[in-house]
Structure 1
Amino acid sequence: MMKCLIVFIFTVATCHAEIEFSGRVRNFSLELLHYTQLETEGHVVISPFGIWSLMTGVALGATGKSKAQLERAFLLPGNQISIINGYQNLTKTVLDPRTQGVQLASKNFVFKDKGFHMLADFKKTLTSDFGAKIVELDFKDSTTAARIANTAIEDSGATVSNVLRSDDFGTARMILTNVISFKGLWSSPFNVSDTNIEPFYDENKKQIGQVKMMYQRAMFPFSNIQSLNATVMQLPYGDDNKYSMLIILPYPKIKVTEVYKKFTIIPMNDILNRLENDTKEYGMEDVDLKIPRFKISTNVVLNKPLNNMGVFDIFSPKLASFEKITKEEIFISAIVHKADIEVTESGTVASAATSAYIIDRISTPVFEANRPFIYFVMEKESSTAIFSGIYSKPSVF
């Protein structure tokens, strides 16, 4: 199971002074994961799609440099109608509920102080175009406000609890929250009896811990991509391959960060196309697959990662410009992202290499994720990363 929540806290400012849409999300996802892992010592799960969804709504309320910086970082077109249409079409594709064995839901909330005046056009955009639920609260009674807000989030079906604290309402005027959850059963589940405790290594084959390693031999899309210095495996969920987990395993002696840098020249679409082409050329064949059971929880403030992506003004009381949201002077004090992922036998409940490692297609390929790896939970049609992360700190789960 995977679930995550993004919270944007808008605070009063006391100082007066076109590329296809799924490609935008895909490219933003890669960059955001890179900068977020720097804040979490390289062991992380985030929901790029959830973050992107709500920040897109925020961008529609921004003006001036605040708007320009958000558009650059989130790869948004300058035209509001293009943003709304693109968002709605992509969301419809990504959140399509028809796949048997997959549950996926995303919900946006706006908690506003009863004395805070939101402009009618922006309120309409949030509710009509982004499906947000607006809840008016008395932020001065912060304890009650937190209780009501958390109840609203939990009543939406979210499995996260106590998301907002009373402190969050202290100087805030508006709090935007996105909750997204994913539960997927593997198309080819692992047998629990084949799971064993095994060592987990760093990239130099030094043991750094132990994991419960799951095993199966089955047919999966699989590629050895020398230009990426990694092997790639795709594990489908449900009954129609619409959703899958993509695992990118660096070659021995290659760090995760080295592979990650190559995403700047090797787009995600190229990786997915390579998997598809190899499957067509070689056919589906058995792979000996080993991946750890794992659970990762992340609670990270995204201000610094977004600073690294060129977003500054929205966090400054002097510089933030949200003239389409309100006539008050407000800024974003924090963007808090909470996410977790759980991978078990049944599913997910949320060329520097030596030539000896170049894998051929004659013998049964072996994919053993017993060292740090990158993972993405993808929607296939749009190639959108719903969740992404890096597994680098082993634990027996």
Structure 2
Amino acid sequence: MSNFNMAWLLVGLCAFVHCHHIPTYFQAQRELSRGRYHFPYHNIAIGNADFAFKFYHDVVLGAAGKNIFFSPLSISTAFSMLALGAKSHTLNQLLSGLCFNQTEITEQEIHENFRALLEHLNNPSRNIELSLGNALFIDEEFKPLKKFLQDAKHLYKSDISHTNFNNSEEAEEEINSYIEKKTNGKLVDVIKGLDAEVLMVLVNYMFMKAYWEDPFNPIKTREQDFFIDEHTKVKVPMMYRNGRYYTYHDRDVSCQVVVLPYKGTALAFFIMPDPGKMKQVEDALGIDLLTKWFTSLTEKRINLHLPKFSISTKYVLKGILRRLGITDIFTEDADLSGITGKPDLKISKAIHQAYLNVYENGTEAAASTDSQIVPNSLSPTIKINRPFIMTIIESQSMSFLFMGKITNPNEN
């Protein structure tokens, strides 16, 4: 049995922005609930969203007191690409684990919709720097089927490189150099210790960089208390801005929601549970709750305090995915005969790495911000100073780009 080593690597570098894409997202969500799919990628939006929440619920169980951050779309894209080579029970497990209802959408439709989604997200005209793609590093003596390679390139925009895995140091350097370039230098030396029998490495990367239209003024960033729990607090740099934002306090699940749209077509949700209510909010978290928040959001001027922070996370996916029902690909029962024509491959390793940076975005642009500020006494205050959940959504495609929970902004 040969081994097939896979790595998912991504980075999100985010300076959030303020504009008005709430109606865009809500309209897309409402149309989807009525079964009206205006663009091909809308056919996979609900499945991808369900997978995002499913993955979050599993990760949070083993991460008490820790920061969580990942890209559900990156993981979904990588495993959907792997499905090109999966057959029979292995294929069914993959698609079911990714939350696709195979009675409602065919395997080919899933692949075609991912192709459309990748084209949409990589379109530079959307005023956001977002790059999402795949790469296959294949051993020089390993001969995948031509159809698999063609489909990977056509449907998933995958780069394909022939690599000498007999020289592991050289192979690691080649792959790490590619990842570093695609993530603008944010991820370096990710691949270490390649398995001796590795034949192919699959890399999925996502890089995003966006800016506030009305930036936080760095001069107003101050150290303030962040309450990790009822017994522990830390000092964090807290950004401040007075402006108009969509907000909602959900008394049913006890949390404050603030939405910060990016310049372009993306939204950042910040969900801060009331003290002691994190588990209650997490238990209820899902697409239905998100839909409720969209119908309840109101725009108002507030004094917003938001931590300035950066985090980096890394996950070995094998255990998580097996708990989500994707099991065979890691065992001798795997059927990946669509890659070679023979069922002699399995996954030896699956890695997911993410990076996020939230900051003010410069002083020059902030000069125009002050002219829009009204007296603080007229505005209510929302201070994100307790553990919070966040998710970043591309509004037109309803794609969950990133998701996480920040328990301690100082913990990188």
Q: What TM-score range do you get, normalising by the shorter chain? A: 0.7 to 0.9
TM-score (norm 2): 0.80
Partner in structure 2 of residue 29 of structure 1: 52
Cα RMSD over matched residues?
A: 2.3
Give deviations 1:37-74, integer Å, cap 9, x for gaps.
34444312111111111111012211122211111111
* Contact kept in structure 1, 2:50 and 2:287, CA below 8 Å: no
What residue is the counterpart of 1:105 in the other structure? 131
Q: What is the alpha-carbon distance in structure 1 between the residues aligned to residue 334 and residue 411 of structure 2?
A: 45
Structure 1 range deviating more: 187-196 or 259-268 = 259-268
1:223 has 2:248 as partner: yes
Q: Could you tell me how far 1:162 is from its partner in structure 2? A: 1.8
- TM-superposed deviation, 1:294: 0.8
Matched position secondary structure for 1:98:
helix
Q: Secondary structure at the match of 2:292?
A: helix
Query: Where does residue 354 of structure 1 map in the other structure?
Result: none
Q: Normalising by structure 1, what TM-score?
A: 0.83
Residues 1:109 and 1:247: Cα distance change in structure 2 (over 3 Å): same
2:202 pairs with 1:176 = yes
Residues 209-218 or 222-231, more deviating:
222-231
Matching residue's letter, 1:84: H
> Aligned-pair distance for 1:77?
5.0
The CA distance in 2 between the partners of 1:93 and 1:224, in whole Å, is 33
Q: CA contact under 8 A between 1:158 and 1:180: conserved in structure 2?
A: no
Cα pair distance change 1:237/1:74, threshold 3 Å: same
CA contact (8 A) 1:139 1:169 kept: no
Alpha-carbon offset, residue 221 of structure 1: 1.0
Aligned-partner Cα distance in 1 for 2:385–2:89: 45
What is the DSSP-based 3-state SS (H/G/I as helix, E as strand, rest coil) of the residue aligned with 1:306?
helix
Show the counterpart of 2:260: 235
Residue aligning to 1:161: 188
1:153-179: CA deviations, max 9, x gaps? 3344542222222x2152211110011
Q: How many residues align?
A: 355
Quick one: distance in 2 between partners of 1:152 and 1:164?
A: 11
Corresponding position: 1:294 with 2:294: no
Q: Does 1:67 align with 2:91?
A: yes
In the other structure, the counterpart of 2:347 is: 332
CA contact (8 A) 1:203 1:254 kept: no
Return the offset for 1:263.
Answer: 1.9
Aligned-partner Cα distance in 1 for 2:293–2:251: 11
Shift of 1:36: 2.4
Q: Which residue of the partner structure matches residue 322 of structure 1?
A: 336
Match of 2:294 in 1: 272
**Matched-pair contact (CA < 8 Å) for 1:21–1:90:** no
Paired position in structure 1 for 2:79: 55
Distance 1:391-1:232 versus aligned 2 partners, 3 A rule? same
Tell me, what secondary structure is at the counterpart of 1:143?
helix
- The aligned counterpart of 1:6 is 8
Identity %: 25
Output the CA distance in 1 between the equivalents of 2:91 and 2:411.
Answer: 45
**1:46 maps to which residue?**
70
SS across alignment from 1:168: coil
Alignment of 1:349-364 (within 5 A): 364=379
Work out the CA distance in 1 between the residues paired with 2:339 and 2:315: 26
Matched residue of 2:74: which SS? helix
Structure 2 CA distance for partners of 1:134 and 1:396, relative to 1, 3 Å: closer
Q: Unaligned 5+ residue runs, structure 2?
A: 1-6, 10-34, 36-41, 363-377
Which string of whole-angstrom CA distances, capped at 9 and with x for unpartnered residues, describes residues 289-345 of structure 1? 1111011100110111112211111111x2111011112511111110111101011
2:300 corresponds to 1:285: yes
Structure 2 CA distance for aligned equivalents of residues 334 and 176 of structure 1? 10
Alignment of 1:108-127 (within 5 A): 108-127=134-153
Distance 2:324 2:76 in 1: 13
1:174-221 deviations in Å (ceiling 9; x for gaps): 1100111111101221111111111111354x3331211111110011
Separation of aligned partners in 2, 1:97 and 1:258: 39
Which amino acid is the alignment partner of residue 163 of structure 1?
V
Q: Which amino acid aligns with 1:244?
A: L
